[in-house]
Chain A
């Protein structure tokens, strides 16, 4: 077990370094410069800046320098937010994204799993059709639509919450609901699929034949196995939600990480883009590892080597 974890962590480090390098190359090889400005600066000023930041060096040297600064955790400064180090920028946005994303994740699970389970247990009946119709809608509606709808209804009309902003203790509610309900739709569909498949297995029929109560069958026997496909989805989902969402953060004006993902790429602020990519890759690696461990625990047929 510990050997497996160590192995996966080492693999994770390689993945993170690869992600940082690819992010750097994609942004640096594309057109545009971090110093481009509507007012053109004289060539000698541009050359000066390039020299100062080492952008006049061969690409491989630049990549090496940047990687080294990440490996030694001597994080570089952002090109756009002058005077801020990329670590500080992430540290400021992280609590917000973690709060909103964490709450969204809990909502997704608390709403999605029971809804999917009810649909699976009442397959073909009204409850099933209703839940699946709503979840299909949830999968289709983008947060770009649901977010402003929530803001208009619960903010501007009913005044239950602030329409946007990050000031009051309850400001996480609308963005987390937006993100959580949309993710809950996918969770419900996966839960339903997994549970229905498991309930049709031989060992469930055996259990039923032995007269085990339906509650025990579902809760103890079926659910453990039915969770496996869901878990595979929940790992990346958690990483995605915790690292912030561009759309939701823009609609609700949250000072999280999601907006930096887009703006750093658009402004060619490649140090910040690399840091964010590394951060996201770390989350993915960690959650995937957690999922693997959980799966081994839930399914005795999986052995971690």
Chain B
């Protein structure tokens, strides 16, 4: 007979092996989360970082956009077949004789998810709320197109009746703009224009009380295809079908779960493990391989977004346009995009990306010409880069921003003989440095809010809060004014093209590339259509089991 200690010694490894076998058996039969979700018609979506709020008036980000548009709807909704086109939303129709005065016919059957009717008074209330300076909405400028909105927002008048909103009856809304804007309906798909429920907001405070819990589970009511079921911080947001939505018969999904996964590598693993239908992004380092192997779940599409560098024109030597042009000419965008970043971005030839407007041909101005760059730099008084002061490129801390900055650093050293350092700052600090013009050169990006070149060109008007280069040009401002006043599309487009050419000749910014959006989508997700403005018509999405 074996002594006790031997039995123990034998039992231990056996127990260990047994556990492993059970784990392995259990693991092999573990159902994928997406399979169970398909049966209950629940879509699982990776949503980047955790959202800051579900109140459409106090947020700005992309993750917020994706959750909010599942809960709320505006007058106009994205067209299910091509989300960049417009379809009726809470307004059944609209018309404008001059693109300046717009009349919207509201659906009499549209209600909030608690059954309260949505009327024109809700829009009046919402526009007044977002434009009230006391609320401090970070995105209120989106409504500056409305007549008198800027004056009200800046506190020059306290009388909201001066703003171009009128409500002749509960189901008709008339909006008057500062000038003709043919692209206006497209703009209304943005959440800043969505109505918010007065009867819920005022249960927790006044119109402009911040930080009340009205937009949290249990309180919030919504107007879109889904309603909020649950929200756990850093965990998930669950929305379920809204049976009171005016078009509920179209809604195919029963629920959507949004997961805030801010680490792209983790998100990819979770997707490959069958826990997500759609990812927010793809790890940068993996994109080149996916582009080669082309698995069926890999999707790429252009975004209405431009990556560029800002030059601080208030500081020498960037007060000299020749220096700015020289720096821009010394960058080989094609090599940067195809050989360094390799993510499928398009090398920028202008600022406004393709797809901003059907009649607006992207400008083809930017080029790579090192010898012209050297000549210009010499003319500016820095032959061979001599005497060029030491400076740094300001970027945020993302690794891709660093890679691009290193490429610029290397290009300028090689072609112009100038030495430039790199300064990385944490996001809030980097934003602050840029806005207070406390930089020489700075990495920047701009994502269009609506389908019109104005969303890009408008920010470089003199004194615009997002200009941040110190650059100003009376002619540019004049052309931009034409763009806001001119009713004739051809003349308007011509004015904007002239403005963009002027901007690129003067070069307060160096456009780099037009962004490409990548994500992973399981093949069972149907009716998914790419949108350059990231619109998602959730109601028509389905999952085939």
A residues near B, CB below 8 A? 30-42, 44-46, 48-49, 52, 77, 80-84, 89, 92-93, 148, 151-152, 155-156, 158-167, 250-253, 255-256, 259-260, 266-268
The smallest beta-carbon distance between B429 and chain A, in angstroms, is: 4
The smallest beta-carbon distance between A200 and chain B, in angstroms, is: 28
Chain B contacts of A255 at CB under 8 A? 232-235
Cβ A40 vs Cβ B232 within 8 A: no
CA distance A266 to B210 in the complex (A): 22
Cβ A45 vs Cβ B235 within 8 A: no
Cβ A160 vs Cβ B136 within 8 A: no
Indicate which residue in B53, B60, B266, B273 contacts A251 across the interface (CB closer than 8 Å): B266
Q: Which 6 A-B pairs have the closest CB atoms?
A: A255-B235, A32-B428, A40-B465, A82-B53, A159-B27, A160-B27
Chain B contacts of A34 at CB under 8 A? 428
By beta carbon, the residue of chain B nearest A268 is B428
Indicate which residue in A37, A89, A253 contacts B431 across the interface (CB closer than 8 Å): A37
CA distance A253 to B433 in the complex (A): 32
- CB of B52 closer than 8 Å to a CB of A: yes
CA distance A18 to B269 in the complex (A): 42
Chain B contacts of A267 at CB under 8 A? 427-428
CA distance A31 to B423 in the complex (A): 15
The smallest beta-carbon distance between B458 and chain A, in angstroms, is: 12
Chain B contacts of A89 at CB under 8 A? 233
Indicate which residue in B28, B60, B261, B433 contacts A31 across the interface (CB closer than 8 Å): B433
B residues near A, CB below 8 A? 23-24, 26-28, 30, 33, 50, 52-53, 55, 58-60, 133-134, 136-141, 153-155, 210-216, 232-235, 259, 261-263, 265-266, 269-270, 272-273, 275, 426-429, 431-433, 435, 445, 465-466, 468
The smallest beta-carbon distance between B450 and chain A, in angstroms, is: 14
Chain A contacts of B139 at CB under 8 A? 39
Indicate which residue in A32, A151, A159 contacts B429 across the interface (CB closer than 8 Å): A32
CA distance A10 to B113 in the complex (A): 52
Cβ A156 vs Cβ B273 within 8 A: yes
Chain B contacts of A253 at CB under 8 A? 259, 261, 263, 266, 270
By beta carbon, the residue of chain A nearest B49 is A263
CA distance A180 to B155 in the complex (A): 57
A41-B269 in contact given A33-B432, A162-B275, A253-B261 (Cβ < 8 Å): no
Cβ A45 vs Cβ B133 within 8 A: yes
Chain A contacts of B445 at CB under 8 A? 38
Cβ B273 vs Cβ A39 within 8 A: no
CA distance A242 to B525 in the complex (A): 39
Chain A contacts of B138 at CB under 8 A? 35, 37, 39, 41, 45
Cβ B154 vs Cβ A42 within 8 A: yes
Cβ A93 vs Cβ B234 within 8 A: yes
CA distance A252 to B267 in the complex (A): 10
CA distance A33 to B428 in the complex (A): 7
The smallest beta-carbon distance between A79 and chain B, in angstroms, is: 9
Cβ A251 vs Cβ B24 within 8 A: no
List 19 additional A-B contacts (Cβ < 8 Å) besides A155-B269, A158-B23: A31-B433, A32-B428, A35-B138, A37-B60, A40-B435, A40-B468, A42-B465, A44-B155, A48-B136, A77-B211, A81-B50, A82-B53, A84-B213, A84-B216, A160-B27, A163-B266, A163-B275, A164-B270, A268-B428
Q: List 11 A-B contacts (CB under 8 A).
A: A35-B136, A42-B153, A45-B137, A83-B215, A151-B266, A155-B269, A159-B273, A160-B26, A164-B261, A167-B33, A253-B270
Find the residue from B30, B140, B275, B428 having the highest chain A CB count within 10 A.
B428
A250-B262 in contact given A32-B426, A159-B30, A267-B428 (Cβ < 8 Å): yes
Cβ B269 vs Cβ A163 within 8 A: yes
By beta carbon, the residue of chain B nearest A30 is B429
Find the residue from A33, A40, A84, A92 having the highest chain B CB count within 10 A.
A40
Cβ A83 vs Cβ B233 within 8 A: no
Cβ B210 vs Cβ A52 within 8 A: yes
Cβ A31 vs Cβ B432 within 8 A: yes
Indicate which residue in B153, B211, B215, B269 contacts A152 across the interface (CB closer than 8 Å): B269
Cβ B428 vs Cβ A41 within 8 A: no
Cβ B261 vs Cβ A83 within 8 A: no
CA distance A151 to B268 in the complex (A): 12
Cβ A45 vs Cβ B136 within 8 A: yes
Cβ B431 vs Cβ A38 within 8 A: yes
The smallest beta-carbon distance between B324 and chain A, in angstroms, is: 22
CA distance A147 to B466 in the complex (A): 41
By beta carbon, the residue of chain A nearest B54 is A83
Cβ A250 vs Cβ B263 within 8 A: yes
Chain A contacts of B262 at CB under 8 A? 250
CA distance A31 to B428 in the complex (A): 8
By beta carbon, the residue of chain A nearest B212 is A83
Chain B contacts of A40 at CB under 8 A? 435, 465-466, 468
The smallest beta-carbon distance between A176 and chain B, in angstroms, is: 15
CA distance A44 to B132 in the complex (A): 11
Chain A contacts of B466 at CB under 8 A? 39-40
Cβ A158 vs Cβ B53 within 8 A: no
Chain A contacts of B270 at CB under 8 A? 163-165, 253
The smallest beta-carbon distance between B455 and chain A, in angstroms, is: 12
CA distance A45 to B132 in the complex (A): 9
Cβ A160 vs Cβ B428 within 8 A: no
Cβ A32 vs Cβ B273 within 8 A: no
Chain A contacts of B136 at CB under 8 A? 35, 41, 45-46, 48-49, 52
By beta carbon, the residue of chain A nearest B269 is A163
The smallest beta-carbon distance between A272 and chain B, in angstroms, is: 11
Chain A contacts of B210 at CB under 8 A? 52, 82
CA distance A259 to B235 in the complex (A): 11
By beta carbon, the residue of chain A nearest B265 is A148
Cβ A39 vs Cβ B269 within 8 A: no
Find the residue from A38, A48, A148, A161 having the highest chain B CB count within 10 A.
A38
Cβ B55 vs Cβ A163 within 8 A: no
A151-B269 in contact given A32-B426, A158-B24 (Cβ < 8 Å): yes
Cβ A164 vs Cβ B269 within 8 A: yes
Chain A contacts of B234 at CB under 8 A? 93, 255-256, 259-260
The smallest beta-carbon distance between B129 and chain A, in angstroms, is: 14
Indicate which residue in B33, B211, B275 contacts A83 across the interface (CB closer than 8 Å): B211
Cβ A83 vs Cβ B55 within 8 A: yes
Cβ B431 vs Cβ A83 within 8 A: no
